[in-house]
Chains A and B, each alone.
Chain A
Amino acid sequence: MTERKLAVTENPWRRLSAWTDARIGLGRAGISLPTQEMLAFQLAHAQARDAVHLPLDTDRLMADLKELTGSRKTLLRHDPVHLQSQACDRITYLQRPDLGRRLSQPSCEALDRLGHTGDSPVDLALVIADGLSSYGVQENAVGFLEALLTDLETDDQPWELAPLVVVSQGRVAIGDDVGHRLNARCVVVLIGERPGLSSPDSLGLYLTWQPGPGLTDASRNCISNIRPAGLSCGEASRRLMYLLRAARRKKVSGVPLKDRSEEAVIDQGIGNFLLR
């Protein structure tokens, strides 16, 4: 019997995929993707597409946040608040980022009724927005807040917090409006990041000192990719605490405030094997 030549060439370095989620060593049919890999990609894309349109379960999130607030009475003295941007639904949200950056009129009134305007400012407002992955918020926001609230409680300096705020159909910059209305010196927005094929569940953090109208991205610091397979809640909180302390000390955020937290460079793998 003559031996048939195989159409697919496997890649012997595929076992490196034990150390990364990247789609390495896929092999090739000629120079093209083998059928199995091509279809695996199509499936992942289909799932990510579905995830963008999955709504945030705000009832569940608000219940979780209420419980969290109850357990941290020294830091959080008011119940969490649920607000809405001017984007009334997901399709509007996707096409009109300007509306996702602004609070709806009833939400503005609800915030103003909280009565923080005019008082002496609070140190920090924490705003949770669904962004582009409700899944990222649903899976990671509460876990991250638990880590952060512990770090805030045990910090050398006291932190006075505004009530936790959830915004539906919200973009990053909506934190400026919320923080301003809450008379907060600093706002941190927790937001669902644009879902990737391998990471539909990623949460991002955006810190802004002196939130208010007219700020741009140059005024923000970002910590990205908080999820079980990415940056852990504990490490994300540690980095955010570094930025929060620095922002309070220097009264600034964004480009002038560089993240100099000595990264605990904990590589999961075996270092740069290419140099051996």
Chain B
Amino acid sequence: MYRYSLGGRRWQFATLAELMAKATPARSGDRLAGVIAHTAEERVVAQMALADLPLKTFLNEALIPYDQDEITRLILDDHDSEAFEPVSHLTVGDFRNWLLSDLATPEMLASVRAGITPEMAAAVSKIMRNQDLILVAAKCRVQTAFRSTIGLPGRMSTRLQPNHPTDDITGIAASILDGLLYGSGDAVIGINPATDNVAQSVRLLQLMDEVIRKYEIPTQSCVLTHVTNTLEAIEQKAPVDLVFQSIGGTEATNRSFGFDLATLAEARDAALSLNRGAVGRNVMYFETGQGSSLSADAHHGVDQQTCEARAYAVARKFEPLLVNTVVGFIGPEYLFDGKEITRAGLEDHFCGKLLGLPMGCDICYTNHAEADQNDMDNLLTLLGVAGCNFIMGIPGSDDIMLNYQTTSFHDALYVRRVLDKRPAPEFEQWLTRMQIFRDGEGKVPADGLPEAFRESLARLPEGHGND
């Protein structure tokens, strides 16, 4: 039982999970789950009570029982008490002060990472304002590599996402070309296949591998299919760079996705054995998003933002190249409008970075959410300031396969220009070498069609005029 007295009134929170949930800034998913604070005042009182809680509490009291959940076991068994030592005496409220203070240098933040649990990160985020989430995340540096290096200071990368509703090869190739010529794709060229099928995945992997090899692009490819499909593709000798999986923060969520931690370990070993990286060996690509545990009825009464942070424990175990919070995809049942999506995007980016993950964000919304392009412009700019490792890039913001809107190739160039960001260094050199960009910093595209692509386009059949 957690108690708090305020002006003669006594408040009670029956469990740590209830305290955490009620301290969470309002969002529709917690309302749906019935765990939200009943009043605005109760929320702030819960935040005050949470601020007084020692960080150590989270090592002694599991939100989801140790014997029922392999992610709880992962979090507690892998906790590094030596790394935790510099902050072990702090309450959640003191931890916020420490994170914001000049004591928490980028080096210090990196050294305490392994001592911070997802629940600690979630707890402190609940008592942080948006600017706090941005400021601390900007101090957390996480760098990963495969054929390009992602997460260097002053850099922002993009996933080129050339999805097509029927996986049509010409359509996919056209979107890849459009993206490359707008300087997109240094984080990964990643396709969501229209049908989850091993044969289709292999075909798409081959397509991307051939393009990457022909044009010597310093990037990696990924087909975002189920981990067991990728394992089969590897067995069939397909050119797999990265293993993809959507992950959640409870064992039951992941079981509903059809995998467990052992599956991920097996897949990572298989991808590492292919030895396809050039400058690094981070071979996993994970996607997450608040609300997935509730959606799978696997949240154990824990609020959706804490469940999300727990998913980062899963990601952290497998040293991913990329972790992408797909923040607005799940819909208004979980994040109702632009305000809730913005808050969630900043929380996820902060918690992931604090825990040492190469966080990117799919800054997105669906057509049934109360959000629009202006909301996305705002979140994109905020995450750019916060030092987000990568964002999505798609032609004209319109994913014609997944039926939602995410950031466009143009959007990425906007944020690079206003915030003076550059692409991954290997990719930036390639853009210059290929005469795709003319300024050497990935900010000014060339006017005409670069030499290397002229022949491919000159050979297109006639009679298919522009619309």
Chain A contacts to B: CB under 8 angstroms: 9, 11-26, 28, 31-33, 37, 41-42, 44-45, 48-49, 51-52, 94-98, 132, 193-199, 202, 216-218, 222-225, 229-231, 239, 254-255, 258-263, 265, 267-276
| A residues in contact with B453, CB < 8 Å | 13, 274
Q: Which one of B36-44, B117-125, B395-403 is at the A interface?
A: B395-403
* Chain A residue nearest in CB terms to B174: A16
The answer to whether A41 and B170 touch across the interface, beta carbons within 8 angstroms, is: no
* Chain A residue nearest in CB terms to B170: A269
| A residues in contact with B331, CB < 8 Å | 94, 194
The answer to whether A22 and B164 touch across the interface, beta carbons within 8 angstroms, is: yes
24 contacts between A and B (CB under 8 A): A13-B177, A13-B178, A22-B164, A22-B178, A22-B395, A23-B395, A23-B396, A31-B410, A95-B333, A96-B333, A98-B32, A194-B403, A197-B367, A197-B398, A218-B255, A224-B195, A229-B165, A231-B166, A259-B196, A267-B168, A271-B170, A271-B173, A273-B170, A274-B215
| A residues in contact with B467, CB < 8 Å | 17-18
**A26 with B410: in contact, given A225-B165, A267-B168 (CB under 8 Å)?**
yes
Most A-side CB within 10 Å, residue of B200, B215, B336, B457:
B457
Of the candidates B28, B210, B461, the one whose C-beta lies within 8 Å of that of A272 is B210
**A193 with B168: in contact, given A94-B333, A95-B28, A96-B32 (CB under 8 Å)?**
no
Complex: A95 Cα to B366 Cα, angstroms: 14
The answer to whether B466 and A17 touch across the interface, beta carbons within 8 angstroms, is: yes
Complex: A276 Cα to B333 Cα, angstroms: 47
| B176 interface residue (CB < 8 Å to A) | yes
| B256 interface residue (CB < 8 Å to A) | yes
| B residues in contact with A197, CB < 8 Å | 367, 398, 400, 403, 405
The answer to whether A218 and B170 touch across the interface, beta carbons within 8 angstroms, is: no
Complex: A246 Cα to B43 Cα, angstroms: 51
Of the candidates A97, A258, A269, the one whose C-beta lies within 8 Å of that of B32 is A97
| A residues in contact with B402, CB < 8 Å | 196
* Chain A residue nearest in CB terms to B229: A258
The answer to whether B445 and A24 touch across the interface, beta carbons within 8 angstroms, is: no
Nearest chain B CB to A41 CB, angstrom units: 6
The answer to whether B166 and A225 touch across the interface, beta carbons within 8 angstroms, is: yes
The answer to whether A270 and B461 touch across the interface, beta carbons within 8 angstroms, is: yes
**A218 with B256: in contact, given A31-B413, A267-B170 (CB under 8 Å)?**
yes
The answer to whether B164 and A20 touch across the interface, beta carbons within 8 angstroms, is: yes
| A residues in contact with B465, CB < 8 Å | 15, 18
* Chain A residue nearest in CB terms to B336: A95
| A residues in contact with B256, CB < 8 Å | 216-218
The answer to whether B173 and A273 touch across the interface, beta carbons within 8 angstroms, is: yes
| A residues in contact with B171, CB < 8 Å | 19-22, 268-269
| B residues in contact with A49, CB < 8 Å | 367
Nearest chain B CB to A234 CB, angstrom units: 13
Nearest chain B CB to A233 CB, angstrom units: 14
Chain B interface size, as a band, is 35 or more
Nearest chain A CB to B351 CB, angstrom units: 25
In chain B, residues 380-422, which have Cβ atoms closer than 8 Å to a Cβ of chain A?
394-405, 408, 410, 413-414, 417
Nearest chain B CB to A133 CB, angstrom units: 9
The answer to whether B417 and A31 touch across the interface, beta carbons within 8 angstroms, is: yes
Of the candidates A28, A94, A267, the one whose C-beta lies within 8 Å of that of B410 is A28
Of the candidates A13, A22, A132, the one whose C-beta lies within 8 Å of that of B400 is A22
The answer to whether B460 and A273 touch across the interface, beta carbons within 8 angstroms, is: yes
The answer to whether A26 and B395 touch across the interface, beta carbons within 8 angstroms, is: yes
* Chain A residue nearest in CB terms to B178: A24
| B372 interface residue (CB < 8 Å to A) | yes
| A residues in contact with B207, CB < 8 Å | 272
Complex: A268 Cα to B400 Cα, angstroms: 16
Nearest chain B CB to A23 CB, angstrom units: 3
Nearest chain B CB to A37 CB, angstrom units: 7
The answer to whether A202 and B332 touch across the interface, beta carbons within 8 angstroms, is: no
The answer to whether A20 and B170 touch across the interface, beta carbons within 8 angstroms, is: yes
The answer to whether A259 and B197 touch across the interface, beta carbons within 8 angstroms, is: yes
In chain B, residues 135-183, which have Cβ atoms closer than 8 Å to a Cβ of chain A?
162, 164-166, 168-171, 173-178, 181
| B residues in contact with A258, CB < 8 Å | 196-198, 229
Nearest chain A CB to B441 CB, angstrom units: 13
The answer to whether B403 and A195 touch across the interface, beta carbons within 8 angstroms, is: yes
| B residues in contact with A13, CB < 8 Å | 174, 177-178, 181, 449, 453, 457
The answer to whether A262 and B332 touch across the interface, beta carbons within 8 angstroms, is: no
| B9 interface residue (CB < 8 Å to A) | no
| B residues in contact with A195, CB < 8 Å | 367-368, 403
The answer to whether A230 and B166 touch across the interface, beta carbons within 8 angstroms, is: yes
Nearest chain B CB to A275 CB, angstrom units: 6
Nearest chain B CB to A168 CB, angstrom units: 17
Which 5 residue pairs across A and B have the least CB separation, nearest first? A269-B170, A23-B396, A196-B403, A255-B258, A20-B171
The answer to whether B210 and A275 touch across the interface, beta carbons within 8 angstroms, is: yes
| B107 interface residue (CB < 8 Å to A) | no
Nearest chain A CB to B26 CB, angstrom units: 13
| B211 interface residue (CB < 8 Å to A) | yes
Complex: A20 Cα to B176 Cα, angstroms: 12
Complex: A224 Cα to B176 Cα, angstroms: 22
Nearest chain A CB to B339 CB, angstrom units: 16
Most A-side CB within 10 Å, residue of B171, B177, B396, B448:
B396
The answer to whether B461 and A196 touch across the interface, beta carbons within 8 angstroms, is: no
Nearest chain B CB to A143 CB, angstrom units: 17
Nearest chain A CB to B52 CB, angstrom units: 34
The answer to whether A268 and B403 touch across the interface, beta carbons within 8 angstroms, is: no
Nearest chain B CB to A208 CB, angstrom units: 13
The answer to whether B196 and A273 touch across the interface, beta carbons within 8 angstroms, is: no
| B88 interface residue (CB < 8 Å to A) | no
Complex: A196 Cα to B297 Cα, angstroms: 27
Nearest chain B CB to A129 CB, angstrom units: 15
Complex: A98 Cα to B32 Cα, angstroms: 8
Nearest chain A CB to B100 CB, angstrom units: 34
The answer to whether A272 and B169 touch across the interface, beta carbons within 8 angstroms, is: yes
| B296 interface residue (CB < 8 Å to A) | yes
| B residues in contact with A26, CB < 8 Å | 395-396, 410
The answer to whether B174 and A262 touch across the interface, beta carbons within 8 angstroms, is: no
| B residues in contact with A32, CB < 8 Å | 410, 414
The answer to whether A225 and B367 touch across the interface, beta carbons within 8 angstroms, is: no
Complex: A132 Cα to B329 Cα, angstroms: 14
The answer to whether B457 and A270 touch across the interface, beta carbons within 8 angstroms, is: no
